A and B are shown apart, each in its own frame.
Chain A
């Protein structure tokens, strides 16, 4: 063998580098194939006929006029669903196509396939459905009353999570020197990803079907589509198509089964692509919440107890509501030491739009509740609000609401100090803009500052084993070595595709890494949700790469004729104990590729006790704090966010640039919830399903953001990582609302804040009292 430089060169793009996205070049060329871009020879277009009523009995469906329209190839109703006409990722309660009742506005009743989208749309209009309109159940609290009409036969209570700690668990009364109470509300937020629900179903020669679809988890979709189609599992194949954002809205089925049904019926490929208006009714939303909180504390500002009654509007079908309720309960006390607690979380069926997963998954709503209370308590005690939080902050070794003792860093006090210690922004005008336009010269503009800290579980909880599968292959050819990583982890924009390549480079010391998407026949990677992919699929890729490395090192030892000499892979070479190069990796791989597949499980979690909500239900918690600075025109009710500072513990910054992108994006979605984003529902009917009427932050709404990243390794996690996607979304709404309260002196118990609230013109302000 030829001699080499003594030490291996460093490979670029490993863990800790801001490695570029492998899909970036295609995306900037407009050549990345999103699910809405797919086409096939002879393709038909599918469309969905939806209920215009939030609650109605279906008396009859007449498809004859639609079928008679030239260019229409199929019109299907529930009678055409060969398998189980129900889906649901947790509770199977949602019809693929409505049978005799519709329970929300927009519920699918029939699907149509035609030669072009316009014909399909016209045909759907020609399907005649006779409805007997029923009164909708639209108030979640009223739905719990014994005399409320039932949305589902088993009643309207979808899940109740009681939580009892300390004196409350022993049945003793909860008392304290200082008590504050408040009732808080959070409106219905939409994920508002830009890439519409869409996909292409292609019939296969074996009588099966291939579905190319944008999703967060192929495998849970696959389970449900298989059931609906009544086909053997192996005849239904799901492939990940390009995903234009997700944020929880792609955890449930949308057009998946419908397109497959149409493709199987017509024998032709069928594409479905929702319009924006349809997208608003075609996916679940963030649960509206009403939260009555009572905090008891000592005079010197130590929390003694928390009582809370939290009602979430789950809408017409369960989606992931049961899990959201669990998260709300587990996070309901905030990242604070609270000896005694009595919390009841109820999620309820109504005839409102179904709610389910959205980034933050219940932790967002409850954070607005407990952080509003912490500010109220600070005022009551005459204490600095940050000081009060620090005094009660959990740390490693503390127990949180579910009784679980934190066995990893929990730097809550440090995060708060960091955002507090940032220099305050000056009184300058916004970056090149004006606050009040032409209606005011800013004479009534008041500055406000607000703080919030939040936390949430990473990954699935309560005993659910959301493992991930990864295959790593190391191969040589033409003197080059490269690794190929395969997993079914859905790339939804967050960058899991980049992270997988970085991990393979780190473990195998090779530069060239290709990341391939496994389809539904490959092992599951679990969902791209709950901030879990870097941890869990990252863990799987790391483990598979380590297994490959071990085999390569054995092979190198044999080649070198000495066992135990080869100890590492670096710079495309095999290295010894001192980091010295022993031989080229390509020479070792000359005999053939090395491949390993690993199914990787995070440490187990356990159910919550059904009476006390106690249990080690979580494998990792993640924390972030925000400080928001706002300028408020207190007469016009207008808010301009001047600056947001974030401090977040990420365990290990695997890709610092992508991490910042997550923190910016999550923080801004929270800012949107605080100031503008709400699906308004009246009588079960959505009032604003368009980007004209449902506002998301534009570039003008976004302030400079300062991000302080802590890297305190979690000893249980691969590389010490901590999930990063959700924490920035959890405390930013509460921080922004707190800042507006600080400026206005109003109680502002409800988000999003409307101009009339901020100007002090609504009765809503009295609800919480002050």
Chain B
């Protein structure tokens, strides 16, 4: 089948997609976007997290045909023209990246949280990251990074 979708603001048309392919497979293998990771491909780890029409999903669980005509945002789209996203900077500043395999999913989950909730409490942060496994960090530096990213994002955005 032919698949049309918008990825990080750019329209992409892909021929010959099998109905059994996942959105993750399409991103990684057909579009060469390897940012979303493939730690389990069973919806259990969050490493493949992307936004689909603004909703955070596990790309490995989305059949490719369901993404037809929709908009996908991946970790590759996080940084703007004017540099890295505050969430990216905070993860680096706090030492929240070791092997980094969980990082793209963690970044997307954090970005999603801060979109919904600019001043999250501890419980909200933990709930937002509960679906994202990390085997390296023990999560403490990741929690710090989310708090720092939230503070920096709030500082950037003037309140009404």
Which of A162-216 touch B at CB < 8 Å? 191-196
Bound together, the chains give a CA A24 to CA B47 distance in angstroms of 17
Which of A11-58 touch B at CB < 8 Å? 18, 20-21, 23-25, 27-34, 36-37, 39
Cβ-closest chain A residue relative to B85: A28
Interface bits A647-675 vs B (CB < 8 Å: 1, else 0): 00000000001101101111111000000
Given contacts A30-B75, A39-B32, A691-B133, contact A668 B98 (CB under 8 A): no
A-B contact count (CB 8 A): 178
Q: Do the beta carbons of B138 and A668 come within 8 Å of each other?
A: yes
Q: Do the beta carbons of A661 and B137 come within 8 Å of each other?
A: yes
Q: Do the beta carbons of B124 and A432 come within 8 Å of each other?
A: yes
Given contacts A39-B32, A657-B95, contact A665 B42 (CB under 8 A): no
Q: Do the beta carbons of A21 and B123 come within 8 Å of each other?
A: no
Q: Do the beta carbons of A664 and B99 come within 8 Å of each other?
A: no
Bound together, the chains give a CA A699 to CA B137 distance in angstroms of 10
Q: Do the beta carbons of B100 and A244 come within 8 Å of each other?
A: yes
CB distance from A153 to the nearest CB of B (A): 38
List B contacts of A21 (CB < 8 A): 92, 97
CB distance from B104 to the nearest CB of A (A): 5
Cβ 8 A contact of B98, one of A28, A39, A665, A697: A665
Q: Do the beta carbons of B97 and A28 come within 8 Å of each other?
A: yes
Q: Do the beta carbons of B44 and A692 come within 8 Å of each other?
A: yes
Of the A-B pairs whose beta carbons lie under 8 Å apart in the complex, a sample of 22, sorted by A's number, is: A23-B100, A27-B103, A28-B103, A29-B75, A29-B76, A30-B33, A194-B134, A196-B39, A243-B99, A245-B136, A493-B101, A494-B98, A657-B94, A658-B95, A691-B42, A696-B133, A698-B131, A699-B125, A699-B126, A699-B132, A702-B139, A702-B140
A398 within 8 A of partner (CB): no
A276 within 8 A of partner (CB): yes
A690 within 8 A of partner (CB): yes
List A contacts of B34 (CB < 8 A): 30, 33-34, 37
Interface bits A83-97 vs B (CB < 8 Å: 1, else 0): 000000000000000
- Interface size range on B against A: 35 or more
A558 within 8 A of partner (CB): no
Bound together, the chains give a CA A191 to CA B135 distance in angstroms of 8
Interface bits A222-258 vs B (CB < 8 Å: 1, else 0): 0000000000000000000001111100000000000
List B contacts of A495 (CB < 8 A): 98
Cβ-closest chain A residue relative to B75: A30
Given contacts A194-B102, A699-B126, contact A27 B97 (CB under 8 A): yes
Q: Do the beta carbons of B142 and A34 come within 8 Å of each other?
A: no
List A contacts of B72 (CB < 8 A): none
CB distance from B103 to the nearest CB of A (A): 5
Cβ-closest chain A residue relative to B121: A432
Bound together, the chains give a CA A30 to CA B105 distance in angstroms of 10
Q: Do the beta carbons of B122 and A30 come within 8 Å of each other?
A: no
Q: Do the beta carbons of B123 and A29 come within 8 Å of each other?
A: no
Cβ-closest chain A residue relative to B93: A20
Bound together, the chains give a CA A124 to CA B28 distance in angstroms of 23
List A contacts of B123 (CB < 8 A): 431-433
Bound together, the chains give a CA A39 to CA B30 distance in angstroms of 11
List B contacts of A34 (CB < 8 A): 34, 37, 101
CB distance from B17 to the nearest CB of A (A): 12
A275 within 8 A of partner (CB): yes
List A contacts of B121 (CB < 8 A): 432
List B contacts of A697 (CB < 8 A): 138-139
Cβ-closest chain A residue relative to B104: A30
Cβ 8 A contact of B100, one of A20, A32, A663, A691: A32
Q: Do the beta carbons of B138 and A665 come within 8 Å of each other?
A: yes
A705 within 8 A of partner (CB): yes
Cβ-closest chain A residue relative to B20: A118
A499 within 8 A of partner (CB): no
Q: Do the beta carbons of B100 and A27 come within 8 Å of each other?
A: yes
Q: B36, B37, B107, B140: which has the most chain A beta carbons within 10 Å?
A: B140
B14 within 8 A of partner (CB): no
CB distance from B97 to the nearest CB of A (A): 5
Given contacts A29-B88, A664-B139, contact A492 B20 (CB under 8 A): no
Q: Do the beta carbons of B137 and A192 come within 8 Å of each other?
A: no
A270 within 8 A of partner (CB): no
Bound together, the chains give a CA A23 to CA B134 distance in angstroms of 18
A700 within 8 A of partner (CB): yes
Bound together, the chains give a CA A691 to CA B43 distance in angstroms of 9
List A contacts of B143 (CB < 8 A): 699
Q: Do the beta carbons of B100 and A493 come within 8 Å of each other?
A: yes
Q: Do the beta carbons of B141 and A660 come within 8 Å of each other?
A: yes
List B contacts of A244 (CB < 8 A): 37, 39, 99-101
CB distance from A518 to the nearest CB of B (A): 20
Given contacts A28-B91, A28-B92, A193-B99, contact A247 B135 (CB under 8 A): yes
Bound together, the chains give a CA A27 to CA B134 distance in angstroms of 14
Q: Do the beta carbons of B39 and A276 come within 8 Å of each other?
A: yes
Q: Do the beta carbons of A194 and B75 come within 8 Å of each other?
A: no
Cβ-closest chain B residue relative to A190: B135
List A contacts of B32 (CB < 8 A): 39
Interface bits A410-450 vs B (CB < 8 Å: 1, else 0): 00000000000000000000011100000000000000000
Q: Do the beta carbons of B140 and A705 come within 8 Å of each other?
A: yes
B129 within 8 A of partner (CB): yes
List A contacts of B142 (CB < 8 A): 699
B55 within 8 A of partner (CB): no
CB distance from B99 to the nearest CB of A (A): 3
List B contacts of A494 (CB < 8 A): 98
Interface bits A692-715 vs B (CB < 8 Å: 1, else 0): 100011111010110000000000
A273 within 8 A of partner (CB): yes
Q: Do the beta carbons of A431 and B100 come within 8 Å of each other?
A: no
Interface bits B41-52 vs A (CB < 8 Å: 1, else 0): 110110100000
